[in-house]
Amino acid sequence: MTQEAKPVVGWDMVGQRTISRALAYNREVIPSKSFIEYRGLKITYGQFGRAVCQIANGLRALGIRRGEHVMIYLPNCPEYLAAAFAIQRMGAVYVTCSTLAAEDEIRYQVSNGDVAAIIVARETEALVRAIAAEQASVGSIITVDCGAMDTGSAMLNRMLVENSDRFDEPFPSVDELAMIMYTSGTSGRPKGVLWSHGNLFVAGLNRVSAFDYTVDDRLLHYFPLYHANGGVSLVNPVILKGATIVMIEKFSASKLSTMLVEHDITFTAFNATHVKMVLNHPRVPQDRQHRVRRAQFALPLDNDRRREFSDQFGGIRLVELYGLTESLGMATCSPVDSLWKAGSAGPPIPGIRLKIKREDGTDGGVGDSGEILLQSFSRYGLSGGYYKDPHLTEELFAGGWLNSGDTGHVDEDGYLWYLDRKKDMIKRSGFNIAAAEVERAVATYSGVKEVAVVGIPDEFREERIVAFIVSNGTGRLDPTSVIDYCTRLLAPFKVPEHVAFLEVLPENILGKVDKKYLRVRGMELFPSSQGVVGGAQGANGDGVARMN
């Protein structure tokens, strides 16, 4: 039975505006403006708008109907975006899938996402066809010659030649489901996060304001389109302002400056991994010859490297944000203006309310650490929850707030200071310890370049704290002195019991430190039966186990 729609009482900033409508508007008003530049190919808003309609007509001819789910399994290319917006224009639902996903993960998402058709590059067609053959729901496999557009011979490319460039069906409403974006699944099977057309519009509008986009901006884009950052955060504001995307296949630290200058880039995005990679390369004259003055930024980075990066690149400001897929990728953002605070994720963006929930369930005050909770004044400001998982959706919005699973604290100016994932909290002798708090203490010790702290099982105290350290090469680090140093900065129950050294910290595909791997490694180096002193040999010295 179809649930009866509730009457709308009043309207908010969205109205009936959608990204699909914005693309149609740009097609008519700025048809000659460059939208996507890729491998020497320049696609205008007029050309892209026609391509969206042609693909939508092609999908309809295959029998795909409004409300059905279509997965895209493609590397970054113009066809990816054209296909995604065509799916949404016809009122179908775009389902994401990482090109780095293992076969079993793809199979799960096809099944869980009730996928009716899959759009795939010819290079991976055989893999997808084998998976689709096991799923009764999949009726069509649509191949792509990536980057060829209307010169390709694959099915989707031929749609750009054989179909009408006008699509005669009504635009989807803001309340219709537009996308199921699968999370990375670090705590289990990936979850399909629900985004409506209203969500997509708000996500773009928020970033236009937060990052001060203009029609003249030229965005250097290399983040994967299947991810919220690459597929929404860096695309939708460009469309709303009629700006330009310069799409490259992957990030190159050695070529960054050259690309910024050659493509006349004015805006881009980094995470901490990118910044670290760039700082490991020699400086070149082009570092200061570009037009970039601000860049979207995420993941923790020490202030020394922030300053070094900004100095090297002529004052680029790393504008930090905090968000998760369930909050449309952004809930707070550091101001672009003079009220910016290095290291803070900034205050809540317009339309978002934030509070901190302490461990005992009470509301936290200034400086209190706890879980980050979010509310939106607009019904489109947060995602709709998880596909086919009402129980997890209810948990996500327990108490009328989005429970992020992240921890942080808010300062006297209302700025958020992110600490860690709540699930990464270390529990020791009844105390909850944020790994980020211990990491910040260790990072101030002379000779430490990077540090990651994890908890490993302990027979008596629930968990022991392990600090994995990368040396900055200025001297030999002694584990015992590191631990002694921490005793001066941290409460006794927060001091690491073990220290081990690595050449580099392992990272996952999103550029985040792979703490799952480090926990396993910590258990191997420091088994619970080893006693007081351990013998883990690291890159720069011996590991130490110590009972407090």
Question: Whole-angstrom Cα distance, residue 309 to residue 240?
Answer: 30
- Inter-residue contact 433 to 465 (CB < 8 Å): yes
- Inter-residue contact 356 to 372 (CB < 8 Å): yes
Under the banding of pLDDT at 50, 70 and 90, the label for residue 52 is: very high
Task: Provide the pLDDT for residue 188.
Answer: 54
Number of domains in the chain: 2
Under the banding of pLDDT at 50, 70 and 90, the label for residue 430 is: low
Domain finish residue from 172, 188, 210: 172
pLDDT at 233 over 60: yes
Which stretch of 41-50, 243-252, 333-342 has the lowest confidence by average pLDDT? 333-342
Is the C-alpha dihedral spanning 235, 510, 272, 75 positive or negative?
Answer: negative
Q: What is the pLDDT of residues 509-522, one digit of tens each?
A: 777 899 989 999 99
Task: Provide the pLDDT for residue 537.
Answer: 33
Element spanning 96, H or E: strand 93-96
CA angle 387, 393, 394 (to 5 degrees): 150
Q: What is the pLDDT of residues 151-190, one digit of tens each?
A: 999 999 999 999 999 999 999 999 999 999 998 654 457 8
Question: Whole-angstrom Cα distance, residue 336 to residue 333?
Answer: 9
Q: Examine residue 24 and state whether it is found in any structural domain, yes or no.
A: no
Under the banding of pLDDT at 50, 70 and 90, the label for residue 508 is: confident
Q: Examine residue 537 and state whether it is found in any structural domain, yes or no.
A: yes
**% of the chain residues with pLDDT over 90:** 75
**Mean pLDDT of the region 416-435:** 78
**Mean pLDDT of the region 252-278:** 94
Task: Provide the pLDDT for residue 262.
Answer: 97
Task: Provide the pLDDT for residue 493.
Answer: 81
Task: Provide the pLDDT for residue 395.
Answer: 94
Which stretch of 220-229, 279-288, 309-318, 470-479 has the lowest confidence by average pLDDT? 470-479
Question: Whole-angstrom Cα distance, residue 191 to residue 311?
Answer: 40
φ and ψ of 350, to 5 deg: -55, 135
Q: Examine residue 468 and state whether it is found in any structural domain, yes or no.
A: yes
Longest CA span, the chain? 74
Question: Whole-angstrom Cα distance, residue 198 to residue 13?
Answer: 10
126 Cβ contact partners less than 8 Å away, ≥ 6 residues apart: none
**% of the chain residues with pLDDT over 70:** 92
**Mean pLDDT of the region 359-388:** 96
**Mean pLDDT of the region 248-272:** 95
Task: Provide the pLDDT for residue 8.
Answer: 56
Q: Examine residue 501 and state whether it is found in any structural domain, yes or no.
A: yes
CATH number, position 149: 3.40.50.980
Q: Examine residue 432 and state whether it is found in any structural domain, yes or no.
A: yes
Q: Examine residue 53 and state whether it is found in any structural domain, yes or no.
A: yes
Question: Whole-angstrom Cα distance, residue 347 to residue 332?
Answer: 5
Domain finish residue from 113, 139, 172: 172
Q: Examine residue 241 and state whether it is found in any structural domain, yes or no.
A: no
User: pTM for this one?
Assistant: 0.82
Question: Whole-angstrom Cα distance, residue 266 to residue 457?
Answer: 48
Range of the domain at 80: 43-172
Q: What is the pLDDT of residues 66-109, one digit of tens each?
A: 999 999 999 999 999 999 999 999 999 999 998 888 788 899 99
Q: What is the pLDDT of residues 385-398, one digit of tens each?
A: 999 999 999 999 99
Under the banding of pLDDT at 50, 70 and 90, the label for residue 534 is: very low
Residue 24, token pair as written in the block: 């149609």
Rounded mean pLDDT of the chain? Answer: 90
Q: How many helices (H) and strands (E) does the chain have?
A: 16, 24
**Mean pLDDT of the region 202-227:** 96
Q: What is the pLDDT of residues 119-135, one digit of tens each?
A: 999 999 999 999 999 99
Q: Examine residue 12 and state whether it is found in any structural domain, yes or no.
A: no
CATH number, position 505: 3.30.300.30
Under the banding of pLDDT at 50, 70 and 90, the label for residue 400 is: very high
**Mean pLDDT of the region 309-330:** 95
Which stretch of 26-35, 249-258, 265-274, 527-536 has the lowest confidence by average pLDDT? 527-536
pLDDT at 545 over 70: no
Domain finish residue from 146, 172, 198: 172
Task: Provide the pLDDT for residue 3.
Answer: 43
